[in-house]
Structure 1
């Protein structure tokens, strides 16, 4: 049978089909649009508009690699099409190729007066590429063109807050939430900014919007149990469920004493791996390592307690410790650590690399903590969870040390906290130490919750819970904060922390 020749569409047919495809595209029927784009290309191989539009639809339908291949092939032609360069910039930003994205957006702007959307997307790519000063300028240009541009208002507000200009940023976030009162991201980020300034009353109210943001997709289900709004609890049972990271659970468990004082039964649902540690809470609460449906009159998320309790910065419960390590574990680790008369300092230098809070909080390596090795009669113990190949056995102390470090840094060994319970061994070890030094991660909260002498190493604009100034925190009375100054690396911070540690360990 003779193959039928490929039918070539005339330009009128092509434009009619493209118009239909673009309509489907706008209505987010990407599969339908892509099918028509392919139909046009089957008849008119190399049709630029069909290829470019199909690449955009592929990107928006999640097939980024295919989209980038088409965009990159077409870019070699250097087309004088501002919309092409704009769409390619969007795909490159999605792919994390920020420098190329910036170049594409600039190409679009050279070919036509920039729209507010092009400027805003350029600013996003600049910010993700670490070019924060220029990103700020471009966001401001966006707002000159379109004063009520939703994304630019919100992103510039966040950028200013994250650069330490909280009041300026809060003003923009307030403006954004006034214009778009249902924009959850705006309320959530406004809440974080207010809490950083110590405005807990307004900050935690705005923070309640977190459940409607893209970062908080999973929320424990308590069907048929109403959410607690602060009603009287006498004769009632309240389920409090942990949320977010382990450090958040450790920190906010301190508030359960306030809840228990309201007269009801309190059940604390935590991740199974934290149940053993949380069982040491000195409050009349029942701790269980479960989430989900349970008997109760009300339920609430743990980090909603400040809002429900109308907590202010000055009302954070003042207690030196709210957790304790198991006595048997403390004794076992005391024997294992040994005592040669030197003062023992525990060190933590990095957090979870997958955490959204990771940017800027971790050190590049434990070598940055070398100034602590110069403290007279100090013995350094790594509290960082490490893989076995990062350690090497020794015939002294704990029996292990961190490999390839410029100073002697002992380690509890790969079996520490290797069971189903999180931090029980670490808590016992910390109880035997004279001092803990840590970046902002869960072990820092653990040290504070145990009431251990602790030094926190904080970036210039830290997580909201450390506020913006001062060397003390009401959350952990035995903790001292060492902060970066604007533009400062961690080296001066560590030097100051080492000097503080030496003074704290010096015999009276």
Structure 2
């Protein structure tokens, strides 16, 4: 049975409307919800300000009782219980800012960030002199990616509490996330002049310069933070993150494990640190441990966790023969291809009586349907909800209930326990034969030289991601090779960069008549027609690797998808080129240029046919 594309569902990127009315919170079920944020310390501060006997005396007695119960629940990390009591307190004392403050913290702990934001705003309106409200409001705005609003709140907090490090820390990080590195560093320098013994400030300075690519400086600042506070878990976490970039990875793993030993079990920081530990384990080739620990990415407290709107039980390794399983792709397009490595094994486990339903990006539906050969493939519907990515699969119900669902990456835990488990013999993706013939003819008309596709950056060039990509102006050692014909695989608007390459290096990078971003099935056929693809770790590289074209990755250093090897085991025909030292792009591009010359010489010396 061939794979069938399911009915199309338009992708959505809208944020659900904010719930303005506190009364509507009565419709929410708080009991039994998992805690996602530790608010115990803030609750204790409110309790201290209340005196639970001074300012609280002005409350209605029943409101005071409810608020005290809410605070006690928050201190025990029982956010659902806290929300119920705090909601009752707001109803009994609607003009008391502390009731809304506690309700906001409980909602934040439940992951209901939009509602938490509204409650913080109400609390500020009622109690504008409470500095902590501005800090907490800024933190929620930051998590909702409202960076300008978060910046404003943190600046207000600093004005009210200039002696505390927390305002400077958070302001610097929000400025960093906006790419305003110089301002961020100036804020930290001024804060350190005021508070030179603050381990927290040294840690934050390290986090800022790390995202700027100054890894050795970041390492030094984290070490200073740990000198000042040897039990500073977050500094160990950040040191682990830095060491994972520059090595040794074993030392990065040790730093993450130290952070975990110092982090309380209930703290949301644990999930971030466990995620870092998982990537270290994978980078060391310890796949069984690594993929098991990597499941922490589904914990609701993880900053980048994805919500999946399905009612069926999640597959946890149960026998699959004869079952119906829905697989939901995760992360970006490149990941939706890379993590698909184990899908053929999943199909084999289902057997002839079982069926796999696969939900992927709309642009990959046709390509995956052709490649997998059986089952059903359809699009996931994606939107943002409370600052989290939410994926829905409304079409799956048309084909009856499924026995289990799983995310695509979670299949690796059961089918890829060793690097030897990766199938390197055959490509995962099968391009359209007619389009493949078309592109071979088109490329042949350009020249008789080898056709080399290039992609130099991601479409999503956030502040955090920019450090992983070499600037186009440094590609000279590659682009000045006269014995190849270059083909553009860079999606998005890159006209200026193509013109720059023409002016700077005298090379024509051929931009063909194809929508590289959206026509991914045609993109796969183009990649299959090329002789070589040289790319940063992008979706373009994943497509090329997926169809089996020879692929050279240009990376900043060792990266976890190498899984402890010298290549990407996910694809059958690839190599990794990396600089001798972290982010030394001139060194890397010189290596790539020399390798390309060797590639051309090898083809010239190869026997015909």
Tell me, in whole angstroms, the C-alpha distance in 2 between the residues paired with 1:316 and 1:164: 25
How far is the alpha carbon of 1:477 from its aligned partner? Answer: 2.5
SS in 2 for 1:381: strand
| 1:278-293 matches, cutoff 5 A | 278-282=368-372, 284-290=374-380, 291-292=393-394, 293=396
CA contact (8 A) 2:212 2:467 kept: no
Compare relative contact order (CA 8 Å, sep 6+) and give the higher one, 1 or 2: 2
CA contact (8 A) 2:456 2:536 kept: yes
How far is the alpha carbon of 1:424 from its aligned partner? Answer: 1.9
Verify: 1:184 aligned to 2:280, yes or no: no
Match of 2:540 in 1: 443
CA contact (8 A) 1:24 1:32 kept: no
CA contact (8 A) 1:159 1:169 kept: yes
How far is the alpha carbon of 1:269 from its aligned partner? Answer: 1.8
RMSD of aligned alpha carbons:
3.6
Verify: 1:252 aligned to 2:342, yes or no: no
Match of 2:506 in 1: 407
Match of 1:13 in 2: none
Tell me, in whole angstroms, the C-alpha distance in 2 between the residues paired with 1:61 and 1:252: 31
SS in 1 for 2:572: coil
CA contact (8 A) 1:482 1:497 kept: no
Unaligned residue ranges in structure 1 (runs of 5+): 1-15, 41-49, 76-80, 393-399
Tell me, in whole angstroms, the C-alpha distance in 2 between the residues paired with 1:362 and 1:113: 35
CA contact (8 A) 2:155 2:167 kept: no
Tell me, in whole angstroms, the C-alpha distance in 1 between the residues paired with 2:576 and 2:547: 17
Tell me, in whole angstroms, the C-alpha distance in 1 between the residues paired with 2:551 and 2:465: 20
| 1:460-471 matches, cutoff 5 A | 460-462=557-559, 464-467=560-563, 470=566
Unaligned residue ranges in structure 2 (runs of 5+): 1-48, 56-95, 106-118, 142-148, 381-392
Verify: 1:349 aligned to 2:429, yes or no: no
How far is the alpha carbon of 1:337 from its aligned partner? Answer: 3.0
CA contact (8 A) 1:158 1:189 kept: yes
Match of 1:476 in 2: 571
CA contact (8 A) 2:249 2:280 kept: yes
Verify: 1:274 aligned to 2:364, yes or no: yes
| 1:100-499 matches, cutoff 5 A | 100-111=183-194, 114-178=197-261, 179-181=263-265, 183-212=270-299, 213-223=301-311, 225-262=312-349, 263=351, 264-282=354-372, 284-290=374-380, 291-292=393-394, 293-294=396-397, 295-309=401-415, 311-339=417-445, 340-354=447-461, 358-365=465-472, 367-375=473-481, 377-387=483-493, 390=496, 404=503, 406-413=505-512, 415-417=514-516, 422-462=519-559, 464-467=560-563, 470=566, 472-487=567-582, 488-489=584-585, 490-499=588-597
SS in 1 for 2:308: coil
Of 333-342 and 383-392, deviating more is 383-392
Distance 1:60 1:37, change over 3 A: farther
SS in 2 for 1:456: strand
Tell me, in whole angstroms, the C-alpha distance in 2 between the residues paired with 1:115 and 1:218: 35
SS in 2 for 1:506: helix
Match of 1:94 in 2: 174
How far is the alpha carbon of 1:445 from its aligned partner? Answer: 1.5
How far is the alpha carbon of 1:479 from its aligned partner? Answer: 1.2
Tell me, in whole angstroms, the C-alpha distance in 1 between the residues paired with 2:464 and 2:138: 28
Tell me, in whole angstroms, the C-alpha distance in 2 between the residues paired with 1:109 and 1:374: 47
Distance 1:410 1:425, change over 3 A: farther
How far is the alpha carbon of 1:273 from its aligned partner? Answer: 1.1
Distance 1:117 1:259, change over 3 A: same
Distance 1:335 1:149, change over 3 A: same
**CA deviation digits over 1:166-185, x for unaligned, max 9?**
11110121233344445211
Match of 2:88 in 1: none
Tell me, in whole angstroms, the C-alpha distance in 2 between the residues paired with 1:315 and 1:329: 32
CA contact (8 A) 2:169 2:200 kept: no
**CA deviation digits over 1:249-280, x for unaligned, max 9?**
11222211111221232222212210111123
Tell me, in whole angstroms, the C-alpha distance in 1 between the residues paired with 2:495 and 2:416: 48
Tell me, in whole angstroms, the C-alpha distance in 2 between the residues paired with 1:152 and 1:171: 13
CA contact (8 A) 2:285 2:565 kept: no
**CA deviation digits over 1:147-193, x for unaligned, max 9?**
33232221122122122221111012123334444521111111111
* Residue-pair matches, total: 463
The normalised TM-score by structure 2 is 0.67
Match of 2:387 in 1: none
Select the structure that is richer in helix. 2
Tell me, in whole angstroms, the C-alpha distance in 1 between the residues paired with 2:198 and 2:494: 54
SS in 2 for 1:311: coil
Larger radius of gyration: 1
Distance 1:54 1:451, change over 3 A: closer
